[in-house]
Homo-oligomer: A and B are copies of this chain.
């Protein structure tokens, strides 16, 4: 048994010297024949493997992998499902570094298939094989002419790498892309992602000098945290359609692949944190890819528009208004230059209207002036067809301007067939062209978004002094319960992680309650503590402003209310808390739920009734850096409330962000915490004491403690 080195693996999959097709056959309509035929254009050698033949389609045929003379870099496996495991083992024994399993009937096919898939993964790991699939269409690399798939078409060479969890989608895309002249470096059909997944390919293509953009069609991510790290570390932009975004779509995806994809909130947060550019549709996926493939990143998100038609100029401006871009304000010098060179009825403000009788030279002059302006990050050229304008010449002028200025330029040459050849000229220079100016602007918007994502610095999460032992003891209490839930009686957990809570404690007798109230020295808040009563307020289980003299009676009353409500209730006592003035505060909630792919997801939002009604929340995959926690505070729609509006003071946002970071540390330290809610977490101004957690609920998996 021979383990493969990283270097060998890198080349083996997409740049093999020798490929073996295991299960090769010349039977009409068979997958084995299709794969072998597709390898016709491959620069390297091909060997067929099939115990029943001497040659297949002109290739020498060997009875098994072991008998193939010389090296084998990539084995493509199309034998029946039961035979796949042996082939992979054989490949391992003779040191084949990469295997693509096309055969279906594994994880997607019930319990038996799933067992087969586990064995397959174990074998691949034992031998250090890079295994693609099973249930894959195969792999392609245009650099070596490698088409190790059973699909109907080979990709055109280009610099976009493409991975897809749907083989059919690859087939459809290639059919379209080849006609459009849209090229690819490598294409991989991920299949069941039993061994190699999206994260592996993000890493691989990051190292590939021939790949400028990574495109992904994904229905799930195998390891959310690893994916985030890989995309962050990659210098190559990743654009993805995550299918199953909606509830209906997620259900369809799960019935299609058998995989559970986790929550959309987690994907949204994880992709954002990773820096994935997420496309909502197929069209957007390729529009964004085209912009990223051919254009430099803008230095800022201001746009200059040059057009020969007022109406389309307004449409373009609307599209800019819809995006995260903004219309550039030209420098005086630019306006003067435009005024000097354009006719009197032209508009020298942005959008620049060179007027319907403009020839290419006038267009070019205006575009040059606009791109020369330091306040312009990118330009859109929008043109209606006129008698005096040749789109071919205009394309040349736009390409020239794009070359002279290191700024992105996109085009909307509006029209029919007459735009086809000019669009090809533009495309050769990396400039996308659309009829609809909105699509051109969307391309620029994606570039600017990527520029911002690319410029981010990732700070490590801060380390906090936390009393982990005390926290563990509190969590251990759950073992004495009939439920897996803890409530306000676990408030010390927050204290152990430095999240501020009110002074006070839990009393289990009227006397103890009185003593606690005496310590606090003023009117207090008293709350029933019972794991069986979730909505304490509904049964009058919360009293605010209890005077010292009334504490004993209130204790008795609260406890008797609990038993009246539920005679067999477990009553843990009564919480006696200092009374908090929340008038200047904003009720927020901070919580966590655990996603199967991304792990702990920290959620923050406005508290009380608003969370329910307005769903004004935001989420991040833990652990959180300080930057990420701070971003969360700005992302909710009600963010201005935290910054202070209409004479209300600003809350202590720094301390509030720190609460989120500390919460993130807590849930990262204890995987046993499945769900947690601090509700309310009252956000107060710094001089009113800053944030304060008033109530807590959490669910624990005692097995994981």
Chain A residues engaging chain B, CB cutoff 8 angstroms: 29, 152, 164-169, 171-173, 175-180, 217, 219, 241, 243-249, 251-253, 255-257, 280-283, 308-315, 317-322, 326-327, 347, 349, 351, 353, 356, 384-387, 414-418, 435-439, 538, 609, 612-614, 616, 637-638, 640-641, 645-648
Chain B residue numbers with a CB within 8 Å of A244 are: 314, 317-318
Q: Which 4 A-B residue pairs are closest in the complex by CB-CB distance?
A: A166-B311, A246-B321, A179-B416, A168-B309
Min C-beta distance of A223 to chain B, whole Å: 21
- The answer to whether A538 touches B647 (Cβ under 8 A) is yes
Min C-beta distance of A176 to chain B, whole Å: 4
- The answer to whether A314 touches B219 (Cβ under 8 A) is yes
- The answer to whether B248 touches A175 (Cβ under 8 A) is no
Distance in angstroms between the alpha carbons of A638 and B606 in the assembled complex: 13
Listed A/B pairs (17) with beta-carbon separation below 8 Å: A168-B308, A168-B310, A169-B311, A171-B386, A172-B384, A180-B416, A244-B314, A244-B317, A247-B321, A248-B326, A249-B314, A252-B313, A252-B327, A256-B310, A257-B310, A281-B436, A282-B438
- The answer to whether B256 touches A435 (Cβ under 8 A) is no
Q: Chain B residue with minimal CB distance to A169? A: B311
Min C-beta distance of A615 to chain B, whole Å: 9
Across the interface, A320 reaches (CB within 8 A) one of B248, B351, B612, namely B248
Chain B residue numbers with a CB within 8 Å of A217 are: 311
Number of copies: 2
- The answer to whether B317 touches A168 (Cβ under 8 A) is no
A152-B387, A614-B637, A646-B609 given; A246·B435 CB < 8 A: no
Most central of A173, A313, A315, A612 by chain B CB within 10 Å? A315
Chain B residue numbers with a CB within 8 Å of A280 are: 322, 438
Min C-beta distance of A592 to chain B, whole Å: 22
Chain B residue numbers with a CB within 8 Å of A281 are: 315, 319, 436, 438-439
Across the interface, A179 reaches (CB within 8 A) one of B315, B417, B638, namely B417
Distance in angstroms between the alpha carbons of A418 and B153 in the assembled complex: 12
Min C-beta distance of A240 to chain B, whole Å: 13
Given contacts A169-B309, A244-B317, 19 further A-B contacts (CB under 8 A): A152-B386, A166-B312, A168-B308, A168-B384, A172-B414, A175-B385, A219-B311, A246-B320, A246-B321, A248-B318, A249-B314, A249-B321, A252-B351, A253-B314, A257-B310, A282-B315, A283-B436, A609-B648, A613-B637
- The answer to whether B613 touches A255 (Cβ under 8 A) is no
Chain B residue numbers with a CB within 8 Å of A616 are: 614
- The answer to whether A169 touches B648 (Cβ under 8 A) is no
Distance in angstroms between the alpha carbons of A417 and B172 in the assembled complex: 11
Chain B residue numbers with a CB within 8 Å of A311 are: 164-169, 217, 219, 243, 256
Distance in angstroms between the alpha carbons of A638 and B179 in the assembled complex: 49
Distance in angstroms between the alpha carbons of A256 and B353 in the assembled complex: 9
Chain B residue numbers with a CB within 8 Å of A612 are: 640, 645-646
Q: Chain B residue with minimal CB distance to A326? A: B248
Chain B residue numbers with a CB within 8 Å of A439 are: 281, 283
Q: Chain B residue with minimal CB distance to A164? A: B311
Distance in angstroms between the alpha carbons of A177 and B436 in the assembled complex: 13
Most central of A280, A310, A351, A613 by chain B CB within 10 Å? A310
- The answer to whether A347 touches B255 (Cβ under 8 A) is yes
